Amino acid sequence: MNPHLKQLIDRYPVLEPSAGDIDNVYRALVSSFGNGGKLLLCGNGGSAADCDHWSGELLKGFTLRRPIQGGERERLGADLADHLQQGLPCLPLPNFTALLTAFANDVDATYGFAQLVQALGRPGDVLVGISTSGNAENVALAMKTARAGGIVTVGLTGRTGGRLIGLVDMAIRVPSDVTHEIQELHLPVYHTLCIMLEHHFFPGE
C-alpha cells in the first residue's frame, strides 16, 4: 500500500474499505497527468467548495515546494522562476461563474457542468463529480457528457453512491449517510490523493 494512503487509513480507520478505490483513482490520475491530461471537478454547495480546495492543492506546491527547474527555469529567468511552482492542471468547474450563470439564464442551469465538460474536456482527462448523495442531476449530466467524450469518470460520494454509481468508471464511497459527515471524510481523501500525486510527479523535492 502507498505509504501516504496507509497514513490516511491509520488516521481514519473508517476509510479502510475505501482504500482500494482511492488507489484506483490515484492510478487513473497518474495516467492522465502523465499523458498530458487534466482533472476536472464538479459539485454543488459544500462540494463546490471542495472542488476549489482540491484544485488549489494541485495547482501549486502542497506539502512540497515544487521549484521550477531545467529548461523552463532558463526560459522564465531566475527571478520569475524563483517565485513560481510546478502545478498539475486542474479545473474546478463551479468557479466558472459567468458561464454557469449565463447558461442558467439562457439555457438551463442543470446542464451547466455538462456544457463545461463538453467545451473543456478531452479524451484522457479525468472528471470527478463530488456529491454527498450521489443524486445531483447536474453532476450526473456532466458524467454522461464526459463518458461520451472519452473522459474517465469518478464519483466521490457517500455510502450508497446514489445514481452516480451507475454513471462512473470508478467511485470512492465514504462510509456515512449524513451530509456533513460525508464532507468531513471527503477532505482527507482528496488531500491524500494530492499528496500521493505530488510525491509521484515531484519526487526529488
- pLDDT tens digits along 14-38: 999 999 999 999 999 999 999 999 9
CA distance 172 to 170: 7
pLDDT for position 4: 97
pLDDT for position 1: 87
HSE at residue 181, side-chain half, CA atoms within 13 A, is: 11
What does the pLDDT look like over 128-179, one tens digit per residue?
Answer: 999 999 999 999 999 999 999 999 999 999 999 999 999 999 999 999 999 9
pLDDT for position 99: 97
Grid coordinates of 139: 453532476
pLDDT for position 204: 75
Average the pLDDT over 52-78 and give the result. 96
Average the pLDDT over 108-115 and give the result. 98
pLDDT for position 205: 60
In this structure, how many other beta carbons lie within 10 angstroms of the beta carbon of residue 44?
19
CATH of 3-201, one of 3.90.1150.10, 3.40.50.10490, 3.40.640.10, 3.40.50.970: 3.40.50.10490
CA distance 188 to 195: 10
CA distance 188 to 205: 22
DSSP label at residue 90:
E
What does the pLDDT look like over 79-104, one tens digit per residue?
Answer: 999 999 999 999 999 999 999 999 99
Instruction: Name the strand (E) or helix (H) holding 40.
Output: strand 39-43
pLDDT for position 21: 98
DSSP string, 53-118: HHHHHHSS-SSS--B--HHHHHHH-HHHHHT-B----EEEGGG-HHHHHHHHHHT-GGGHHHHHHH
Give residue limits of the domains in the chain.
3-201
Confirm if 81 and 73 have CB atoms less than 8 A apart: yes
